[in-house]
Structure 1
Amino acid sequence: MTLEHKIQNDIRVAVSKSGCTIFRGNVGKVKMANGRWFDTGLPAGFPDLFGFRHSDGKIFFIEVKNENGRLRDDQKRFAAMIKRYPAVIYGVCRSAEDAVRLIEGDNDGKSD
């Protein structure tokens, strides 16, 4: 089984080469010196990768899953919300090829 981290990295390279800027949404928790937890990053359900096409500035969001991965409920809620906006590309991708097809418009931008 392929690690999602490897798929993310492969997607970042392929999408960058296809004329886009792409970012990884880093999240996590850090225990501070006073013992409290600090949550970093983005809201629950936010996709792993996001960016824009240089050709037209259209933004995209990519949730990365390996061959067995499934969306969590918070990810499903994000997907349902963002798919309402036709100017946004959203999809669940399991490979770099999936991501390039999504961004280039070889599907309807509403995969999974």
Structure 2
Amino acid sequence: MTSEHKIQNDIRMSLSRHQCTVFRVNVGSVKTPDGRFFSAGVPSGHPDLYGFRWSDQQVFYIEVKNERGRPREDQIRFHNFLQSRHVIHGIARSPEDAVKIVKEGLVGYGFKD
């Protein structure tokens, strides 16, 4: 089974070759000196990748999953948010999926409604 990390890197390279700028989302928890934890980064459920097409500056979001991966509840909520605003986004299990989502301007590709 291919790791999501490898798929994500392959997608980033492929979309870059298709005249897109792509950003990887970094998140994590940090422990403060007094023992408290706080989350750094984007909201829960935010897709792994986001970017824009050079041709028209259209924004897109890509959730990366391997062949067995399923979206979590918070990812489904974020999908519903993007879906309601007709934002290009979807689940990509390969670079080909990601290119299809972005080039065709698909909204919600790979999510079950």
After the TM superposition, which parts of structure 1 deviate over 6 Å for at least 4 consecutive aligned residues? none
Whichever residue aligns with residue 96 of structure 2, its letter is E
Q: Are the equivalent residues in 1 in contact too, given 2:4–2:65 (CA < 8 A)?
A: yes
Kindly, what percent of the aligned residue pairs are identical? 53
Q: How many angstroms apart in 2 are the aligned matches of 1:111 and 1:83? A: 10
* Counterpart AA for 2:31: K
Query: In the alignment, which residue of structure 2 is the partner of 1:96?
Result: 95
In structure 2, the gaps of 5 or more residues are: none
Amino acid at match of 1:76: I
For 2:63, the aligned partner's letter is E
User: C-alpha distance in 2, partners of 1:79/1:6?
Assistant: 23
- Could you tell me how far apart the structure 1 residues matched to 2:88 and 2:51 are? 10
Match of 1:111 in 2: 109
TM-score by length of structure 1 reads 0.93
Cα-Cα RMSD? 1.2
CA distance in 2, matches of 1:62, 1:14: 13
- Amino acid of the residue matched to residue 90 of structure 2? G
Residues 90 and 106, structure 2, Cα contact 8 Å, conserved in 1: no
For 1:51 and 1:84, the matched residues in 2 are separated by: 19
Gaps of 5+ in 1: none
> Aligned residue for 1:16?
16
Aligned residues of 1:103 and 1:109 also touching (Cα < 8 A): no
Aligned to 2:3: 3
Secondary structure of 2:52's counterpart equals strand
